Amino acid sequence: MSFDGVVVVAAAIVERDQRFLLTRRLQGTHLAGAWEFPGGKCEPGESLQACLARELMEELAVKCTVGRSLLITRHAYAERTVELHFFATTLSGDPVPQLGQEMRWASRGDLGTLQFPEADRELIQLLIARTTS
């Protein structure tokens, strides 16, 4: 979904055993090769929670429960401006990549060493600073 040229994205922060679920952006996409928290663009008229549930089913074939909002941030890239809504999310099952994307569970320490989109910087700092879930 886009408001005034801003792409609205919902993303899941899934933490299990002190590790976070990450997927890698596919080649040929905006920011290809960067790690990210799973989720995607909202469709017109779709709520953020419905978007996140749909994206996790499409990308990882897993149902979820979307919890509280952890962070809302906006970032302007040369090509587009994104507004990211990060939600604490619980999965009901094990995620299985459906689009050929890489997936991994990363520790808090790993978060500071991986390549993420610039828009995720504030969230990464927040997660690294948090010592407990």
Per cent of the chain over pLDDT 70 is: 95
When divided into structural domains, the chain yields a total of 1
Q: Which of these, 125, 127, 118, 129, lies nearest to 34 by C-alpha position?
A: 118
**Domain of 49?**
2-129
Distance CA 59, CA 71 (A): 22
**Residue 106 · residue 118 · CB < 8 Å:** no
> Residue 15 has what pLDDT?
96
DSSP code at position 38 = S
**Residue 86 · residue 11 · CB < 8 Å:** yes
CATH of the domain at 100: 3.90.79.10
pTM higher than 0.85 for the full model?
A: yes
Contacts of 84 (CB under 8 A, 6+ apart): 9, 11, 71, 72, 73, 74, 75, 119, 120, 123
> Residue 114 has what pLDDT?
96
> Residue 4 has what pLDDT?
66
How crowded is residue 108: how many other Cβ atoms within 10 Å of its Cβ?
Answer: 16
Residue 111: HSE in the Cβ half-sphere, 13 Å Cα cutoff? 22
Two structure tokens written together for 128: 């690294």
Per DSSP, helices labelled H in 61-120 are 108-111
**Residue 21 · residue 110 · CB < 8 Å:** no
Q: Which of these, 67, 56, 65, 66, lies nearest to 103 by C-alpha position?
A: 56
> Residue 37 has what pLDDT?
97
Residue 133 pLDDT exceeds 60: no
> Model confidence over 22-81: pLDDT tens digits?
999 988 887 889 999 999 999 999 999 999 999 999 999 999 999 999 999 999 988 889
Q: How confident is the model at residue 111 (pLDDT cuts 50, 70, 90)?
A: very high
